[in-house]
Structure 1
Amino acid sequence: MRRVVFAALSAALTGFGGSAPAYAERAGYYEVTAVAADDMLKMRAGPGTGYKVIAGFPNGTVFWVHSCEQTGSTRWCRVSLKQARGLKGFVSRAYLKEN
């Protein structure tokens, strides 16, 4: 019994079995940054490059970040456009800074 309790406690403290990762970003406004001048940050229909591109956004665009998740080596955030909250999709976390 003691081993079962210890194993459960260890798993909980290390993040196994938890529903939210310890590195989850806070919901809030984030600004697009570090996109090349001749490029756009692609908003996608899902969290990965295999999903359809919905739209592209330049540096300075502000999104509301709802949540983020790790897919492969990239963190993807579920976002909506600040000026048009109905426009929703996923963008790479690497190009967002907290606003």
Structure 2
Amino acid sequence: MNERIKEDINLLPNNPGCYQMISDNGEIIYIGKAKNLKKRVSQYFLRPQTGKTQAMVSHVNHFEIIITKSEKEAFILEMNLIQKYLPRYNILLKDDKHY
């Protein structure tokens, strides 16, 4: 985890919203939503990860957030952002689920 990420985690609010994981070349590689941005985003970097999540985290240079008024608003925004940017790890993680 780089210094920028460490500093940015400390500044995260406890609000609902969406987050975008961004690679070194500026590509949005993952988009997610959270009812508590600080808790959710910090989990990626402060807890051990495995598999595709670990691979994704290893490519993150920084992240950006969008605060929303509610979880419902975050859910709708997340869907719209994923459709717009088609982040590669959203697609990989979705394809790995078994129903």
Higher helix share: 2
Instruction: Between the two structures, name the one with larger relative contact order (CA 8 Å, sep ≥ 6).
Output: 2
Pick the structure with greater CA Rg.
Answer: 1
Higher strand share: 1
